[in-house]
Every structure is written in C-alpha cells, then in structure tokens.
Amino acid sequence: MQTVTVLGATGSIGCSTLDVIQRHPDKYRVFAISGYQQLDKLMKQAKQCAARYVVLADERQYDDAVQKAAQYQVESEILCGQKALEEVASAPEVTTVMAAIVGAAGLLPTLAAVRAGKRVLLANKEALVMSGALFIEAANQSGAQILPIDSEHNAIFQCLPDNFQYGDLPASGIQQILLTGSGGPFRTRDLATFDAITVEQACAHPNWSMGRKITVDSATMMNKGLEFIEACWLFGASVDDITVVLHPQSVIHSMVQYNDGSVIAQMGNPDMRTPIAHGLSWPARIDAGVEQLDFAKIQALTFDTPCYTRYPNLKLAIDACASGQAATTRLNAANEVAVASFLEGKISFTQIAQVNEETLNAMEPMDVSSLQQILEEDRRARDIAHGLVRGLI
C-alpha cells in the first residue's frame, strides 16, 4: 500500500492522479491534497478521497478553508502555507508524492519530498529547470526515486535500459534522445499573423487537455524547451544528446535511438493518466482507465524539424541549457511572468519571447549553486520581466 500526497490536486495533473488512485483503493491511499484558488473543488476532492490533510498554499486562506470544510462536511485537517506544503510532502507516513503544482511555487515542497527520500512523481518541470543540480544531488543523497510524469520523459524512461536513470548514455549504447512535440496550435499558421494570436487560440491545444500555463508554453514551444532542460537533468544528457522532433499527432511520446540503429518509441493516446499510472505503479503496471490506441484509426504518423523563427522560445531554452543554471532559472522566471501577462491580456503572444530574451540579456552570466542563489535569481528575473512588461503595455 502506498500513501500518497498530491501537491496541486485541483489542477489537471492532480485530478488525473486522483482518478487513477481511485481505481485502485487496494494499492493507494491519499494522505494529503493541496490546492490554491479552487477551494470548492479541493473540498469535494477531500471528501471523495478521504484525505487526512487538506493544504492551502497561502496562510491567509485558513478561515475560508475551515468554513468551506464545514460546508462540505470534510473531516480532513486543514493546513495552510508553504511550510505545511513541505510538511505533507515529507511526512514519515508518506511513501509517494505527486509534484503537480505549476511553476516555481512547486519548488520547495517538491525539494522537501526529494530530501525526505520519497518516490517523487515529477510533473512540476519548472522545479527541475530551476534547481537541476541541487535537485539531483538531493535525490542521490536521500535515495529518492524520481519518476518522470511529463509524458515525454516518462516515455524516454520507458525506452531506456532498466534502471538507467542518471546513467551513462554512451556506455549504454545510446546515441540520442529524440524528444517529440506536437508543435502546438500554430505549427502551420502564417507567421505574419502571429501578433494577432488571441489568448483563446493559444489556450486551445490540438491534442492535450492541460492547465493554462503549460498550454501557452506548448503554443510557444517553451514547454519543449523546458522539457529539453528537464531531460538533461533527468537522464544525465548534454545539449548535443537531445534532438527535438515535431510530431503533430502526439501518438509517439518520445524515443531513444541506440548505436546499432534501433529506435525505441513509447506510444499511446495522449492521456496523462498513462504516465501517472506508470509512475505510481513502477515497475509494475496498472489499469489507468485510458482508451487503448487503435492503429486502424491512425492515418499517419508524421515528423518534422522545428523552426526557430516560429518557435524562438525553444531556441532560448536550448541556449540557456547550454549556458547553465542561472540562465535556466532566469528564463523560467521570466517566462512565468510573460505567460501570466499574456493571459491577462497585457502583452501579445510574440512579446512572450521578447520579454524572455530581453530578461536574459539584461542579466550578467554567473554561477549559481545554492538554493538561496537560485531563489534570488528567480526573484531578480521576475522583477526585470515585470519591468519589461510595464514598458510594453
């Protein structure tokens, strides 16, 4: 029996996680769930999964949360604030933590789970992008098992030799990791019309149903850029070991190419319950409630090379990855500000990449190693990005 904390339970990944867990009451029980703004949803979830703790991200939410809990007759204990998130991620009773808070806000609770040696199901890619070296070092020290939930990384994990994680790519006969991406809704749109892209258009992903931030990241392909950085850390890869491949149908979720010419791909319907179930049950397999792939219905699998003029954010991320931790932390921070500003209607779609690039250019290269430095670079980059956004309004 695994005892699970679901950080970010009210989100897209959180809901899918609770859905998979609910199918296997003999294997998983819920210890804690966390949410931020969707209080009603969180309380309904708490009632349904009988969570012992319900955690709100902000301490000021306590009174509202207690009131809502009474309204929904929720018996779970209510906790609030950053420290509480870290506590339920590292409590001794917990075996498994789903890290599905979006953005930098998920870093500290995810790190707490890693340091406590949990099985960490990592959806929150921004945490790894920000703190890669520290994160992997903490996992090595504590013995935490990091299982990638991002569908591409979960696919790569499945295509690599058993127990490869943090292994040696060339020694395992691996030539390349092929990171696939659909290219999002604007793969064929006329570049001259990119300035007119609306929030609604950017939030309509052709294949996947996800939270708003990652959906916009998919449209700019910053998501693939963050995933590029994520893959480097998870699989001990360098920038030259990974090639991004456009694959609009999202049937193949990524591939590993071996020296002997073999390419191993992982396929499935685009439903996050597959990687979530894989992470929960690894090395076993469980029913995820996902519709099986029907090859009779797939007309074609096509592939292409991404163009950096269309996807400048992808190039920024790959360059930041080559540059190091300060650049990846800053880029992630700038992008969170830029995407939020786009969603609020303050800047245009093309200005997301502009804010990201100008933020990076405004900051001197430096080495960062401690958590304090990382948080400081994150804060500085946000300040600069906010300033740039104000200048654009």
Give residues in contact with ligand NDP (CB under 6 A).
8-14, 35-38, 57, 100-102, 105, 123-126, 150, 208, 210-211, 213-214, 272
Closer residue to ligand NDP (CB): 151 or 257: 151
- Shortest separation between residue 13's beta carbon and ligand NDP, angstroms: 4
- Shortest separation between residue 229's beta carbon and ligand NDP, angstroms: 12
The residue nearest ligand NDP at its CB is: 11
257 to each of 156, 179, 218, 242, 260, how far by Cα in Å?
10, 11, 24, 10, 8
Q: What is the CA radius of gyration of the chain?
A: 20
Selection from ligand NDP, Mg ion, none that 37 binds (CB < 5 to 8 A by kind) is ligand NDP
Closer residue to Mg ion (CB): 86 or 230: 230
- Shortest separation between residue 234's beta carbon and ligand NDP, angstroms: 13
Selection from ligand NDP, Mg ion, none that 11 binds (CB < 5 to 8 A by kind) is ligand NDP
- Shortest separation between residue 275's beta carbon and Mg ion, angstroms: 9
Residues lying near Mg ion in the complex (CB under 5 A):
150-152
Closer residue to Mg ion (CB): 224 or 382: 224
Selection from ligand NDP, Mg ion, none that 277 binds (CB < 5 to 8 A by kind) is none
Secondary structure (3-state) at 246: strand
Scored b (16 or more CB within 10 A) or e, 102-134 reads: bbbbbbbbbbbbbbbbbbbbbbbbbbbbbbbeb
- With 0-12 / 13-18 / 19 or more C-beta atoms within 10 angstroms meaning exposed / middle / buried, residue 269 is middle
Scored b (16 or more CB within 10 A) or e, 9-19 reads: bbbbbbbbbbe
The residue nearest Mg ion at its CB is: 150
**Signed CA dihedral, 50, 56, 62, 63: sign only:** negative
Q: How far apart are CA 273 and CA 214, in angstroms?
A: 17
Selection from ligand NDP, Mg ion, none that 35 binds (CB < 5 to 8 A by kind) is ligand NDP
